[in-house]
């Protein structure tokens, strides 16, 4: 006599059509429990419409006497199964409707809440999703799966301080949740606990490796100062998928931290070949070009980064700093001209412009920029000293004396500043 197990064996041996045909034959005359088992197999094998037909038929017989479920609240198992079929068919609203029918005293109630939360989150209704998960967790806050579900939700929402204790609680309660270790590693890393995150990444990746987790491991190791470990993780990621282009700037920086500048430069150039539209790669390439005494190439790459993202201030300031070192004061003023009219405060730009205008003897403009920069660099010795000398040239010995006095207070060993102050005592 043919059985459900015979159908399963047929499918497992690749005879899918025969297995499905056998299940169809067995459905007629099967008990409620057997029909439920058959429907679950259909669902697992992707025959959703067949599963849904059986689940709906079984649901019609409840509430009532039946051998599948012990009592009326137990029909939640059917409601959840029907909802899962609806999800597979893209019928989200129907799925929610079935899930909301699950009685709160039913064993499947918490599972129904978790599924609802997933659905609402996918629909962009994060607050509703959070309420569902919170209700589930408060109903049984000792359940590690519920702690994991709420913690994982907070992690996706970027609420790392809320996520971390829940995932840690779940980890203490079970080792049967596949993604728990890697999610905990990510939460620890996102919360800035890089040293604690590393062993969790190692543990998770010893079981199973994926691109996202390898990247997270590499980033975390880099931020923890474990540059060799970062290099190993990111090199493995590069071997698995060389087009995972976000790895190149971090991998190059890790090599740079290890003092392997040629290797860092080689990696970043490979990154440029893989992705010509990633401004971070161009910025790292530019920094390395300057380190390798190739400022022309560095300037070219910074300009490319600016073309990719004109609103990004960092490459402008970096290029401006390079222009100062090269005494290209006119180029610096032209570079910053578009930014001088925006409302955003850019303190370093003010200092650069003050220096450049002073060197070009544009003293009125220099005075304006020194005053603006002074609002932000009141504790920066090098700025105070530069500004003080400018004030002396402008004949403002009184204010210059105050600035030199502040510099000397911050650096009592500066005999040269003490000498300048002594000469200014008559003013």
- The tens place of each residue's pLDDT in the chain, 427 residues long, gives 468 887 788 778 888 788 788 878 878 777 778 888 888 888 888 888 888 888 888 887 765 444 444 433 357 888 888 888 888 878 888 888 888 888 777 778 888 888 888 888 888 898 999 998 898 888 888 888 999 999 999 999 999 989 999 999 988 887 778 789 999 999 999 999 999 999 999 999 998 889 999 999 999 999 999 999 999 999 999 999 999 999 999 999 999 999 999 999 999 999 999 998 988 899 889 888 888 888 788 888 888 887 888 777 887 888 888 889 889 899 888 888 867 766 678 899 999 999 999 999 999 999 999 999 999 998 999 999 999 899 998 888 888 888 888 888 898 888 888 888 888 776 5
Strands (E), 109-244: none
Structure token digits, residue 279: 């401004």
Q: With contact defined as beta carbons under 8 Å apart, do 141 and 147 qualify? A: yes
Looking at residue 362, the DSSP 8-state letter turns out to be -
Residue 426: per-residue pLDDT: 65
Structure token digits, residue 6: 């015979």
Residue 188: per-residue pLDDT: 94
Residue 70: per-residue pLDDT: 46
Residues 6+ apart with CB under 8 A from 371: none
> Which of these, 248, 222, 223, lies nearest to 235 by C-alpha position?
248
What is the biggest distance separating any 2 CA atoms in the chain, rounded to whole angstroms?
115
Handedness of CA 53, 14, 208, 204 (dihedral sign): positive
Query: What are the counts of helices (DSSP H) followed by strands (DSSP E) for the chain?
Result: 25, 0
Structure token digits, residue 90: 């893209």
The Cα–Cα gap between 219 and 98 comes to 42
Burial group, residue 289, by CB count within 10 angstroms (0-12, 13-18, 19+)? buried
Continuous H helices in 123-159: 126-139, 144-156
Handedness of CA 157, 160, 166, 168 (dihedral sign): positive
> Which of these, 263, 209, 270, lies nearest to 240 by C-alpha position?
209
The Cα–Cα gap between 419 and 421 comes to 5
Q: How many CB atoms lie within 10 A of CB 58?
A: 22
Residue located via tokens 């939640």: 76
Q: With contact defined as beta carbons under 8 Å apart, do 148 and 129 qualify? A: no
Q: Is the full-model pTM beyond 0.95?
A: no
């Amino acid at each position: 006599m043919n059985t459900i197990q015979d159908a399963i064996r047929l499918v497992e041996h690749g005879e899918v059509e025969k297995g499905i045909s056998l299940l169809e034959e067995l459905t007629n005359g099967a008990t409620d429990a057997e029909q439920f088992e058959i429907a679950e197999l259909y669902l697992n094998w992707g025959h959703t419409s067949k599963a849904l037909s059986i689940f709906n038929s079984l649901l019609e017989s409840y509430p009532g006497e039946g051998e599948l479920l012990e009592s009326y609240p137990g029909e939640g198992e059917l409601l959840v199964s029907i909802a899962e079929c609806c999800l597979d068919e893209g019928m989200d609203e129907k799925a929610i409707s079935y899930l909301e029918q699950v009685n709160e005293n039913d064993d499947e109630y918490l599972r129904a809440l978790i599924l609802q939360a997933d659905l609402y989150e996918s629909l962009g209704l994060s607050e509703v999703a959070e309420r569902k998960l919170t209700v589930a967790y408060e109903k049984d806050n000792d359940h590690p799966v519920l702690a994991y579900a709420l913690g994982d939700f907070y992690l996706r929402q970027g609420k790392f301080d809320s996520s971390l204790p829940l995932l840690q609680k779940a980890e203490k309660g079970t080792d049967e949740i596949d993604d728990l270790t890697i999610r905990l590693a990510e939460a620890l890393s996102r919360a800035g606990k890089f040293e604690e995150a590393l062993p969790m990444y190692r543990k998770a990746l010893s079981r199973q490796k994926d691109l996202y987790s390898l990247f997270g491991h590499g980033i975390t190791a880099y931020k923890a100062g474990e540059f060799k470990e970062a290099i190993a993780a990111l090199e493995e990621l590069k071997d698995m998928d060389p087009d995972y282009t976000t790895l190149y700037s971090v991998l190059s920086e890790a090599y740079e931290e290890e003092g392997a500048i040629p290797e860092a430069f080689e990696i970043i150039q490979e990154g440029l070949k893989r992705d010509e539209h990633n401004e971070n790669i161009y910025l790292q390439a530019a920094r390395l070009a300057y380190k390798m005494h190739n400022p022309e190439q560095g300037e070219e790459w910074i300009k490319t980064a600016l073309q990719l993202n004109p609103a990004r201030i960092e490459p402008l300031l970096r290029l401006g700093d390079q222009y100062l070192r090269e005494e290209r004061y006119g180029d610096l003023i032209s570079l910053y001209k578009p930014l001088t009219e925006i409302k955003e405060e850019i303190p370093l730009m003010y200092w650069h412009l003050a220096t450049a205008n002073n060197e070009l003897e544009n003293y009125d403009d220099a005075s304006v920029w020194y005053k603006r920069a002074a609002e932000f660099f009141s504790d920066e010795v090098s700025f105070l000293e530069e500004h003080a000398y400018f004030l002396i040239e402008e004949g403002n010995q009184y204010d210059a004396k105050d600035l030199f006095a502040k510099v000397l207070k911050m650096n009592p060993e500066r005999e040269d500043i003490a000498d300048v102050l002594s000469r200014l005592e008559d003013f």
